Amino acid sequence: MEAQFGGSFVDAGGKAISNAEWIYNPDLSAVEGYPSIYWIAYPAPNDSVDLMDASARAAVDAQLLSDRYDDIVSQLEQAEDILRQVVIMTVGEINLLREWIVNFKAAVAAAGNLGQLQTAVEALPDMPDRTFAQVKQQLRDSLGT
C-alpha cells in the first residue's frame, strides 16, 4: 500500500501521519473562508496549509475565467451548428409550401370546371402540421451532416 499511495499513513503507534502526498490534521486557520483552489499545501515535514497571496489568487481567477470563456465559445460553436441546421430545415419547409402553392396554381389553371378543380386539388399532397417532437427528431438526425 505504501508504494501505491506514496508512503505510510500511520506511524508505529497507529497514529495518522503525513507523507509527500497527504497532510493529516493540518491547521486550516490561515485559509478559513477561502476555497481550496487558493490553498498552498506544504506536506511533510511542515504539515501546513497557507493561503496564496492576492496576485496568485488573481492569476487563478483569471485562468478560471479564461477556461469559462473557452467553454462558452465551445457552446457557441455547437449552437452555430444547431442554428445552421434549423435554417436549413426552415428553408426546406418553406420550399415544400411553395411547391404546394405552385401545384395548386397549376391545378386551378388546368381545371375546365369546378369538378375538375376539386379533383385536382384533392390529389395534391396533404401538408399536416409538424409536431415539436418531429422537428426535434429531424434536427437531431440532421446534425453532423
> Which pLDDT tens digit goes with each residue over 91-125?
999 999 999 999 999 999 999 999 999 999 999 99
CA atoms within a 13 Å half-sphere pointing along the CA-CB vector of 11: 6
Read off the pLDDT band of 25 (50, 70, 90): confident
CB contact at 8 A, 11 and 17: yes
Name the most confidently modeled range: 14-23, 52-61, 64-73: 52-61
Q: What pLDDT score does 1 carry?
A: 47
What span, in angstroms and rounded, lies between the C-alpha atoms of 51 and 30? 6
